[in-house]
């Protein structure tokens, strides 16, 4: 098998100083710089996929990406599904609390809530000691929400990698570390078990070169030294206002908005086609077609959108070995889910038309198809239009769920920006206003279309 020239590498861009977006919304950090330098040394290219830690794990095992680098701790359990590189960093787990908290040790956690991040070593450690110390674990998909839960006093503590937590605190995170690092372990670059061994070999070879020529230590110092944290604090000083955040991130926000609109428009088109076809199958005087319609509507309305997205993006590739681009997987997800709802009210709209209309048309000699097109559908459409409009708005909102598979729509863009500036409240306020503006525009457009059709 010939070696590839370009590899798709998944990462979690909410994990500074290992991976995050800088003030120019470029992906930087220890992991990114190491990956890029190793690629340069070994003569290959990398395409970074910012999909979050848990999604990255699934994408590697399903074959959607070639490898992942995201501050991933090498453990015996993970070795059953992944092959790891030589270690490139070592870190332990610490507990952090609010500066005003009176929690000083693990013994103080009895009866408390602890926040962790899905799939991480911090989560594994917390779950391993929760019964001993009598606390409850609350799980989040990204670091920012985990930190915010503690800062807002919803949770009493969180567990995080030592290097990440200390970097966050030095750069403005309002928490304090109250325990010494435990479970010290190594970080490694990972590929699917038994696959992409050429890439793994290149990584190890390149890493050894970087350690020998001093570039490795330069990268570590660049992101963990005093200069690194002071640079980040200086960059944050003038960007804490809403206008400052928008000005600094206008390019990334605009890209996220465009991606959201593209997802919405394309998904609505396919969902409408799919919904009309399935809805019509439900009113054809044929028991098999009616059964198919009922089954499809039942399945795709019943499945949670998040589960459907992960199944299409990670589950199907695991079974077939065929990669599905994130955007395509997102469109399929929305088309199936929203299309099932459209099918239900297409079917209901047609059935709401007086049955005598069809009987009269058939008695005049019109075949079923012409009776449906000429008589029933025009009346049914007027009944369906309000439901269509509502479903279009729901489709726009549902695009936010697709951040779980790494699509850089508006919600995922917000997460990446927050990981850098820690301005969760202001950034989510900006995102909320943008969604409301888009929904308002879509509603006005839909109402205009409704008036044109009814005229």
pLDDT tens digits along 82-95: 999 999 999 899 99
Q: Which residue has the higher pLDDT, 221 or 1?
A: 221
Query: Which residue from 67, 61, 97, 100 is spatially nearest to 84, judged by alpha carbons?
Result: 67
> What percent of the chain stands above pLDDT 70?
87
**Helix 215-224 and helix 162-170, axial crossing angle in degrees, nearest 10:** 50
Q: Does the pLDDT at position 1 exceed 50?
A: no
What is d(CA 177, CA 162) in angstroms, rounded to the nearest whole number? Answer: 9
Strand boundaries in 89-181, DSSP class E? 89-97, 113-117, 136-140, 157-161, 176-177
Query: Which residue from 391, 406, 279 is spatially nearest to 9, judged by alpha carbons?
Result: 406
Q: Does the pLDDT at position 236 exceed 90?
A: no
What is d(CA 171, CA 227) in angstroms, rounded to the nearest whole number? Answer: 11
Residue 219 and residue 33 in contact, taking contact as beta carbons nearer than 8 Å: yes
Can you read off the two tokens belonging to residue 81?
A: 């599904």
What is d(CA 289, CA 322) in angstroms, rounded to the nearest whole number? Answer: 30
Q: Which residue has the higher pLDDT, 239 or 305?
A: 305
- Helix, strand, coil abundance in the chain, percent, nearest 5: 65, 15, 25
Instruction: Quote the pLDDT of residue 2.
Output: 44
- DSSP secondary structure letters along 4-63: PSEEEEEE-TTBTTTBEE-TTS-EESHHHHHHHHHHHHHT-EEEEEE--HHHHHHHHHHT
What is d(CA 180, CA 409) in angstroms, rounded to the nearest whole number? Answer: 38
Question: Taking the alpha carbons of 160, 164, 170, 171 in that order, is the dihedral positive or negative?
Answer: negative
Over range 112-123, report the average pLDDT: 90
Instruction: Quote the pLDDT of residue 145.
Output: 84
Over range 243-253, report the average pLDDT: 84
User: Of 157-166, 409-418, 432-441, which gets the smallest average pLDDT?
Assistant: 409-418
pTM above 0.85, yes or no: no
216 contact partners, CB below 8 Å, separation of at least 6:
34, 88, 207, 210
Q: Does the pLDDT at position 192 exceed 80?
A: yes
Instruction: Quote the pLDDT of residue 373.
Output: 63
Residue 335 and residue 270 in contact, taking contact as beta carbons nearer than 8 Å: yes
Instruction: Quote the pLDDT of residue 372.
Output: 67
Over range 237-254, report the average pLDDT: 78
pLDDT tens digits along 27-41: 889 999 999 999 999
Q: How far is CA 277 from the centre of its chain?
A: 30
Over range 367-390, report the average pLDDT: 67
What is d(CA 278, CA 300) in angstroms, rounded to the nearest whole number? Answer: 12
419 contact partners, CB below 8 Å, separation of at least 6:
13, 14, 15, 16, 20, 21, 142, 143, 144
Over range 58-79, report the average pLDDT: 90
Residue 122 and residue 159 in contact, taking contact as beta carbons nearer than 8 Å: yes
Residue 245 and residue 430 in contact, taking contact as beta carbons nearer than 8 Å: yes
Q: Which domains does the chain have, with CATH numbers?
A: 6-88+188-236 (3.40.190.10), 90-184 (3.40.190.10), 242-454 (1.10.3720.10)
Query: Which residue from 195, 205, 187, 168 is spatially nearest to 74, judged by alpha carbons?
Result: 187
What is d(CA 98, CA 174) in angstroms, rounded to the nearest whole number? Answer: 7
Instruction: Quote the pLDDT of residue 377.
Output: 66
pLDDT tens digits along 121-172: 899 999 999 999 999 999 988 788 899 899 889 999 999 988 888 888 887 7
Exposure of 213 in the CB half-sphere (CA atoms within 13 A): 11
**Helix 377-398 and helix 424-454, axial crossing angle in degrees, nearest 10:** 170
Residue 183 and residue 32 in contact, taking contact as beta carbons nearer than 8 Å: no
pLDDT tens digits along 257-289: 999 999 999 999 999 899 989 988 988 888 999
Q: Which residue has the higher pLDDT, 433 or 171?
A: 433
Instruction: Quote the pLDDT of residue 416.
Output: 80
Tell me whether the omega of the peptide bond preceding residue 454 falls within 30 degrees of 0, making it cis: no
């Amino acid at each position: 098998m010939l070696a590839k020239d370009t590899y798709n590498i998944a990462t979690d861009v909410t994990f500074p100083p290992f991976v995050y977006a800088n003030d120019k919304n470029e992906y930087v950090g220890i992991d990114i710089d190491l990956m890029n330098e190793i690629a340069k040394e070994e003569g290959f290219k990398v395409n970074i996929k910012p999909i979050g830690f848990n999604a990255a794990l699934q994408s590697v095992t399903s074959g959607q990406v070639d490898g992942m680098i995201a501050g991933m701790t090498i453990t015996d359990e993970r070795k059953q599904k992944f092959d790891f590189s030589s270690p490139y960093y070592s870190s332990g787990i610490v507990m952090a609390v609010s500066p005003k908290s009176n929690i000083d040790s693990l013994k103080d956690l009895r009866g408390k809530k602890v926040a962790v991040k899905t799939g991480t070593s911090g989560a594994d450690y917390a779950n391993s000691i929760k019964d001993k110390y009598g606390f409850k674990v609350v799980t989040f998909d990204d670091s920012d929400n985990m930190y915010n839960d503690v800062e807002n006093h919803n949770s009493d503590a969180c567990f995080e990698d030592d290097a990440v937590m200390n970097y966050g605190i030095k750069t403005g995170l309002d928490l304090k570390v109250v325990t010494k690092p435990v479970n010290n372990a190594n970080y490694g670059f990972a590929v699917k078990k038994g696959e992409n061994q050429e890439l793994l070999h290149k990584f190890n070879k390149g890493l050894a070169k970087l350690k020998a020529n001093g570039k490795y230590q330069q990268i570590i110092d660049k992101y963990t030294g005093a200069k690194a944290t002071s640079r980040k604090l200086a960059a944050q000083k003038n960007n804490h206002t809403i206008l400052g955040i928008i000005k600094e991130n206008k390019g990334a926000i605009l890209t996220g908005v465009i991606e959201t609109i593209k997802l919405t428009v394309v998904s609505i088109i396919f969902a409408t086609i799919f919904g009309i076809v399935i809805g019509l199958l439900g009113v054809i005087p044929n028991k098999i077609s009616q059964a198919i319609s009922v089954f499809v509507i039942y399945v795709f309305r019943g499945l949670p959108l998040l589960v459907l997205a992960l199944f299409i993006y990670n589950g199907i590739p695991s079974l077939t070995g065929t990669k599905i681009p994130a955007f395509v997987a997102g469109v399929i997800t929305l088309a199936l889910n929203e299309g099932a709802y459209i099918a239900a009210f297409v079917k209901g709209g047609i059935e709401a038309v007086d049955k005598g209309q069809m009987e009269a048309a058939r008695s005049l000699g019109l075949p079923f198809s012409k009776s449906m097109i000429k008589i029933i559908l025009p009346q049914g459409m007027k009944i369906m239009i309000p439901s269509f409009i509502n479903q279009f708005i729901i489709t726009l909102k549902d695009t936010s769920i697709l951040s779980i598979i790494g699509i850089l729509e508006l919600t995922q863009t917000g997460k990446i920006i927050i990981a850098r500036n820690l301005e969760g409240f202001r950034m989510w306020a900006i995102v909320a206003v943008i969604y409301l503006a888009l929904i308002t525009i879509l509603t006005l457009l839909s109402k205009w279309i409704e008036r044109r059709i009814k005229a």
